[in-house]
Structures are given as C-alpha cells and as structure tokens.
C-alpha cells in the first residue's frame, strides 16, 4: 500500500455537525482505499483503510453498513471492523469523493 501524499480532504458528516478528514491510498494493483484521519466533532473512528470500489455502491444507502472489511496497515491484512461510526463516516467520505454516482 502506498499513501497518496498529495491528497487530503474534508467531507461533511451526513448527519450532525462537523467534517471528516480523510486521505487516499492505492495498492499494488491500482485499487483505491480511503482512510479516516480526523473528526471535527464527536465520534470515534479506526485507522483502517476501506476499499472505495467495495463500498461505493453503499454510499447512498439508508441502512447502516454494519461490519466492514478493512485493511490493517500494521498487520498488512484484511480484517472485519465492527463500529457503527466507521460505516457512517465511510459513507460521508464516499459521497464527498464520488458525488455524481462514481462508476454508475
């Protein structure tokens, strides 16, 4: 994995006040990942990397994402992450990153 150093952005939260700060990563095959790196208001988040292509179709869903598969930078493995904040924050990031429907 390689962090795209020149890209850091802020996404407005989908509900409530504040913004989510995120950055992008790319793997050796060109797949894009996002990492949440900051939160202006309340709510915890993990430092995992989430696949943009895996979750882009869920960004406008009204249901909670629940458990997510994410890449752990430290272990260099895909793990299951259970935290409602991760799903909500990931949706906010994906809506910001792909506002017009992405690949659709």
Please write the tens of the pLDDT for every residue from 65-89: 889 999 999 999 999 998 878 898 9
C-beta atoms surrounding 76 within 10 Å: 8
The tens digit of pLDDT for each residue in 11-61 reads 999 887 889 999 999 999 999 999 999 888 766 777 899 999 999 999 988
CB 61 within 8 A of CB 40: no
Q: Provide the pLDDT for residue 101.
A: 56
pLDDT score at 104: 43
CB atoms within 10 A of CB 15: 7
Residue with token string 């994402």: 65
CA–CA gap between residue 103 and residue 31 (Å, rounded): 14
């Amino acid at each position: 994995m390689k962090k795209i150093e020149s890209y850091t952005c802020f996404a407005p939260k989908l509900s409530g006040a504040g913004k989510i700060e995120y950055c992008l990563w790319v793997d050796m095959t060109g797949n894009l990942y996002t990492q949440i790196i900051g939160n202006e208001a309340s709510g915890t988040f993990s430092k995992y990397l989430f696949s943009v292509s895996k979750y882009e179709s869920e960004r406008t869903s009204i249901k909670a994402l629940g458990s997510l598969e994410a890449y752990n930078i430290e272990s260099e493995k895909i793990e299951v992450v259970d935290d409602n904040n991760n799903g909500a924050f990931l949706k906010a990031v994906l809506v910001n990153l792909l506002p017009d429907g992405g690949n659709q």
